[in-house]
Structure 1
């Protein structure tokens, strides 16, 4: 879990009623969901990322999103158009 915390300001878990809540770490936030929404059970403490790490995470996310969009366009044979959504 510590390796995940390095890449976010706050770490949350989400679950539903059938899962025991004691399996989730106390130092993380927790959401309990049902078929219609979710409620925050526990707030996650804030651990601010370093600016260089934040930039790296943002760029990696952007690259992955752009690559997935490009692959979808190639598979579909037509470019993605925001107006069609």
Structure 2
């Protein structure tokens, strides 16, 4: 079981977005994620674990996926996600 304090303060927490903004994936504290697709909010939700630069997902239907963080970019499911920053 992951350390709750570590998951709540992990440097990869926050919103990750494809360049076109179509997919928005938020890594939430406590090991949950919420992914929007286009105008569909919460299209996919589930839990995640991070080990080093690797992320594993299990959505609420049981589907699994993984990804990799490299140079503050998330590569997941054939998509490239960029950290959303405050403007």
Identify which of structures 1 and 2 has the higher relative contact order when contacts are C-alpha pairs closer than 8 Å and 6+ apart. 1
- Higher CA-based Rg: 1
Same fold by TM-score greater than 0.5 = no
TM-score normalised by length of structure 2: 0.22
Instruction: Judging by fraction of residues, say which structure has more strand.
Output: 2
